[in-house]
Amino acid sequence: MAEGAVSTSSSGGNFTCDDFFLTSNQYRVPVGESMFALRGAPGIMTAGTAQKISNTILSCTAGVASFLFSLTALLYLTEFDQKIVAALAAGLFCLLVSYVAAERPNSESARALASLSERLLAVEDGDLVSPAPAAVQRNMPKLAAAVDSLFAEVRASIENAHALGMYDPVTSLPNRLHFRAEADKLMSDTLDDSKSAMLFVDLDRFKMVNDSLGHARGDQLLIMVANRLRVVVNAEYTGSARTRPLLARLAGDEFTIFFPEIDSVDEICRLARRIVLAIAEPFELSQHSVDIGASIGIAVSPDHGTSIEALMRAADIAMYRAKSSGGGQHRLFDADLATEHQAKIDTEKALTDAVQKDEFVLVFQPQMSLVTGEVAGAEALLRWNHPRDGLRLPGTFIPVAERTGLIADIGDWVVDEVTATLAAWQRDGFDGRLAFNISPRQVDRPDFFAKLRQSFGDAGVPLSMTELEFTESAAMEVGPVVLEEIAALRADGAKIAIDDFGTGYSNIARLRSMPLDRVKLDPSLIADIEISEKARVIVQAVIQLIKGVDCQVVAEAVETVAQADILRAMGCDTVQGYVFAHPMFEHDFVAWTGQARDRDVKSVA
C-alpha cells in the first residue's frame, strides 16, 4: 500500500469501516425517492379512486334494488297507505346503503392511521426495525413503503454516525474510545498465564511540521505514519484473530498499539526498535523531505498493570522518559520510573499548598569581584522547606511547578520577598545588588512586568538594586514586546543577565542586540578547567565572545581557589561558589557580608 493511501482497516480485528458502511448501505434509499414516497400523492390517489368505484357500484346496486322494489309495490299494492309504507321502506333502505358507503372508507383509513401513529410512537422506545402496520400496507401501500424506507434511512444514518464516532477521520484507525473498548475485550479474553504489551508512540518534531508546512500537510504526514505502523505491526502478526494487535490513534501525534499476547519482553522491545527505525526514515511530503522520529513507551501486563488504563498510564510515563532523553528511542517501564512518577505527583500536590502555608524561603549566596576582591552582590536562591523532606533544592520541584503552572504563584512570592528584603537592607545601608531568577512561564504573563514594577515601587526599592536572570533558552526565544519591556527595566537601572550560558541554544545576533549586562557561565563549562586543556580553551573562547558583546562574565559553582585563579587570568569578572561562601539564610548573610568588609579577601581573588 502506498504511504499516502488511506486504509480503513482496523488493526484490532477483521472488521473494517468499509465492511461496516456496506452493511449499513443495503438499507439506504435515495433521499429524493423517500421524500417523494412520503408525500405519497400517486399512491393515495390510486387507493382513493378504487374506493370511489367500489362505493359507486354499491350505490348503483342499491338504486336498482330500490327501483325494482318500488315498481313491484306500484304494480301489486292497491291501497294508498300500503304504498306509503313501501315508499318509506325503500327510502330507508337507500339511506342505509348510502351511510354504509360513506362510512366504510373513513373507518378503514382511521384504523390505518391509528396503527401508524402507534408505530411512530414506538420509535421513542428505540424501535426502528418493525415494518409499517398491516392496516397501512393494505389500505395505503405507498405510504407504508415510504415509512419503511424512512426508517431504513434513519437506521443507516445512525449506523454511519456510530462508525464515524469510533474511527479517526484522518488515519482511519480506531480512535481513543474504540481502542479502549476493543482493548478491554481483548485483554479480558487473554489467558491467565499469558503476557500482554502496550506501546505508546509519540512523534518527535511533529509540531515543527505543522508550524512550517501547515495542518493539511501535517494530516498527510499522520496518514503516512499510520501506514508505516500498519506495515510493521502486520509484519509481526502471525497469530489468530484473538491475538491480533490493535493499532489506534489517540490524539494529535500519539498512537497506541496493544498486543493481547506476547512471547517475551525482548520480542516487544525488538518491535519497538523496528518502529523507531521505520519512523526515522524520511517522509516525502509535497516535495519536502521531512525527518521526524518516535519516542516509545512500553508496559507489560501483568508486571506493570492488569488493566488497559494501568498499562496506558505506565506506557505513557515510559514514553515521556524516552522523549526527555532525546527522543528516537524506546523505554520499558520499570520500578524506578514508577517511583519517580509518584514523587512528581506527590510534589505537585504538596506544591499546591506550599505558597499558602509559607513553606518557601530564600537563601543568599555572595558574588565576589575578581577585579576588586569585594562583595559585588548576591543571588537569591529559592528553597522549599518541605514539612517531611526538609530543605529541597529548586531542581526537585521547579520543573513540576513550571509544568503545572504553579510557577506563577511561586514567582510572585519570590518578587515580593526580594523587594521586602531589599527594602530592609536599604534601611541598614546595604548598597549592593541582589539577583534572582525569572521563569519563562512568568515572562509569558502579560502583566508580569507591570506587577514587578509595582512591587518595587510599593516597597520603595530602586530597580538599580536588582538583577534579573533569564535562562539562555528563554532569552533567545522571547518576542520583541518582551525585549522592549526588558530594555525599559534596564534603562530604569535594573541589571539584566543570562543564566546557565553554554547549555542551551544561543543566537549570536540576538546576544549582540539584546539589552544585557552580564552573562553567567553554566557550571558544566568550568568543572574541568583545572585538568583539561580543552575545557580551558572552550571557557576562554566563551569569555572572549561575551566580552565581545560588551558584557561582564560571571562564573557559577566555583569550588576551588585554582579555578578562581584560572578564571581571573582568563578575564572573568565575578565568581560565585563554595570557594567563598555557601548559600546562607538572611541573618547569616548579613553577618557574613559585615565580616567580609572587615577582612582582606584579595588574596583569595
Concatenated DSSP letters for 140-162? -HHHHHHHHHHHHHHHHHHHHHH
- pLDDT above 50: residue 517: yes
Q: Tell me what pLDDT residue 253 has.
A: 93
Q: Are residues 306 and 446 in the same domain?
A: no
Residue 605 lies in a domain: no
127 and 239 part of one domain = no
**Most confidently predicted of 73-82, 396-405, 487-496:** 487-496
Which residue, of 300, 333, 366, is where some domain finishes? Answer: 333
Taking residues 194-222, report their average pLDDT.
92
Contact 574, 555 (CB under 8 A): yes
Amino acid identity, residue 217?
Answer: R
Instruction: Report the pLDDT value the prediction gives residue 221, as an integer from 0 to 100.
Output: 94
- As a whole number, mean pLDDT of residues 33-52 equals 45
Is pLDDT of 117 > 60? yes
Whether 104 is in a domain gets the answer: yes
Q: How confident is the model at residue 563 (pLDDT cuts 50, 70, 90)?
A: very high
Same domain, 415 and 489: yes
**Does 186 share its domain with 153?**
no
Last residue within a domain, chosen from 126, 161, 196 = 161
φ, ψ of residue 262 in degrees (nearest 5): -130, 155
- DSSP letters, 433-500, are -EEEEE-HHHHTSTTHHHHHHHHHHHHT--GGGEEEEEEHHHHHH--HHHHHHHHHHHHTT-EEEEEE
Q: Is the pLDDT of residue 311 over 70?
A: yes
Are 153 and 180 in a shared domain? no
* Alpha-carbon gap, residue 440 to 475, rounded angstroms: 9
Q: Are strands 495-501 and 254-262 parallel, antiparallel or unpaired?
A: unpaired
Determine phi and psi for 444, rounding to 5 degrees. -70, -20
State the cell numbers at 499. Answer: 543564566
Residue 558 lies in a domain: yes
**pLDDT cut 90: percent of the chain above it:** 49
Is the pLDDT reported for residue 382 higher than 80? yes
Task: Check pLDDT > 70 for residue 363.
Answer: yes
Note whether 312 and 386 are same-domain residues: no
Indicate whether 21 belongs to any domain. no
Q: Quickly count: other Cβ atoms within 10 Å of residue 483's Cβ.
A: 15
DSSP β-ladder status, 254-262 and 246-251: antiparallel
Same-domain check for residues 446 and 537: yes
Same-domain pairing of 186 and 119: no
Pairing of strands 254-262, 195-204: antiparallel
Residue 508 is assigned to a structural domain of this protein? yes
| Helix H or strand E segment including 355 | none
Residue 95 has pLDDT above 70, yes or no: no
Cis ω for the linkage preceding 131 (within 30 of 0): no
Cα–Cα nearest to 329, from 513, 201, 215: 201
Cell of 287: 516535495
Which of 333, 354, 387 represents a domain boundary (last residue)? 333
In a domain, 338, yes or no: no
Looking up cell 512586568 gives 449
Q: Single out the residue of 102, 104, 113 nearest to residue 140, CA to CA.
A: 113
Average pLDDT over residues 475-494: 92
Q: Are residues 349 and 415 in the same domain?
A: yes
- pLDDT of 521 above 70: yes
**451 occurs within a structural domain:** yes
Which residue from 342, 352, 293 is spatially nearest to 317, judged by alpha carbons?
342
Task: Tell me the mean pLDDT in the region 315-319.
Answer: 96
pLDDT digits (tens, 9 = 90+) for 160-178: 777 677 888 899 899 998 9
Q: What is the pLDDT of residue 5?
A: 43
Q: How confident is the model at residue 144 (pLDDT cuts 50, 70, 90)?
A: confident
Provide the domain count of the chain.
Answer: 3
Say yes or no: 319 and 355 in one domain.
no
Q: Look up the CATH number of the domain holding residue 233.
A: 3.30.70.270
Beta-bridge partners for 377: 367
Given a contact cutoff of 8 angstroms between Cβ atoms, the answer to whether 290 and 282 are in contact is yes
Whether the pLDDT of residue 565 is over 70: the answer is yes
pLDDT confidence of residue 115: 80
Residue 78's pLDDT band (cuts 50, 70, 90): low
Q: What is the dihedral of CA 499, 500, 503, 504, to 10 degrees?
A: -20
Question: Bigger pLDDT: 463 or 5?
Answer: 463
One domain for residues 454 and 592: yes
| Lowest mean per-residue pLDDT among 85-94, 390-399, 491-500 | 85-94
* Rounded distance between C-alpha atoms, residue 360 and residue 163, angstroms: 53
For residue 496, what is the domain's CATH number? 3.20.20.450
* β-bridge mates for residue 9, sequence order: 16
**What is the residue range of 276's domain?**
176-333
pLDDT at 107: 65
Question: Which pLDDT belongs to residue 268?
Answer: 93
Q: Is the pTM of this model over 0.85?
A: no
Say if 197 falls within a structural domain: yes
Q: How confident is the model at residue 52 (pLDDT cuts 50, 70, 90)?
A: low
189 and 56 together in one domain? no
